[in-house]
Amino acid sequence: MATGSTLEGQTILLVDDDKDVREAIADALAQAGCVVTTAANGLEALELLRRGARPHAMLVDLDMPLMDGRTFCETCDRDSELWRIPRVLLTANPYAAFFHSRAWMVLAKPVDVSRVVESLSTVLGPHRLAA
């Protein structure tokens, strides 16, 4: 675990259908001291949240099967607890993400994992929740 990292101890829910992307980002976040939970689509992510998971932030791909990122985010927006969780969107079409008003940040794919870590540090830095 990274000592002194802004992200140390922060829990992140990573939602992406690409296994290689999930693994690369999860590894980088773990190196930064995060506790990472992953889901392959919005339905899996919602199930984790319904079972009580409350991450400090979520990284969400917009283009996924079963339940895409937009539908997942809209579902979270309607929940009295989930709408508060900061979201960073991952997308091959960054212009599509701007239609989603609750995104704290949008990262264009292919994304450099160091950029993901940097972005989450920015998002969680001033609004850091107790781990």
Tell me: the pLDDT tens digits for 90-100? 888 766 655 55
Tell me: the pLDDT tens digits for 47-61? 999 999 899 999 988
Pairing state between β 103-108 and 57-61: unpaired
For the chain, which domains are there? Answer: 1-67 (3.40.50.2300)
- Record the pTM: 0.85
- Between CA 72 and CA 84 the distance in angstroms is 14
| Mean pLDDT of the residues in the chain | 83
First to last CA, the chain: 14
User: Residue 86's closest CA among 120, 111, 115?
Assistant: 120
Helix (H, G, I), strand (E, B) or coil at 112: coil
